[in-house]
Amino acid sequence: MKEHTRVVVIGGGIVGAAMLYHLTKLGWSDVVLVERKQLTAGSTWHAAGGYSDTAATTLDTCFKGG
């Protein structure tokens, strides 16, 4: 294991994975992603893009922020 890194990304959800991806696309090589269990095991898996199918109408969905 390395003793030095430029960036430590905490959390392997959509935001953490995207940050790591884009840092590596920019050429950063000393980056590490730390996840407690497995990738997307936290809140990402049940976010579903903020879509709510419990609203009665499309207008209700808009008011709920979906």
| Structural domain contains residue 50 | no
What is the chain's mean pLDDT, rounded? 75
Q: Of 14, 44, 18, nearest to 31 (Cα)? A: 18
Name the residue with higher pLDDT: 28 or 45.
28
In this predicted structure, the answer to whether residue 43 has a pLDDT above a threshold of 60 is yes
- Helix (H) / strand (E) containing 50: none
Domain count, the chain: 1
pTM for this model (two decimals) = 0.58
| Structural domain contains residue 64 | no
46-58 as b/e: b if 16+ CB within 10 A: eeeeeeeeeeeee
Query: What residues make up the domain containing 33?
Result: 1-39
Encoding tokens for residue 27? 């050429």
- Helix (H) / strand (E) containing 41: none
| Structural domain contains residue 58 | no
- 9-36, pLDDT tens digit by residue? 998 888 888 899 999 999 998 999 998 8
| Structural domain contains residue 44 | no
pLDDT value of residue 50? 56
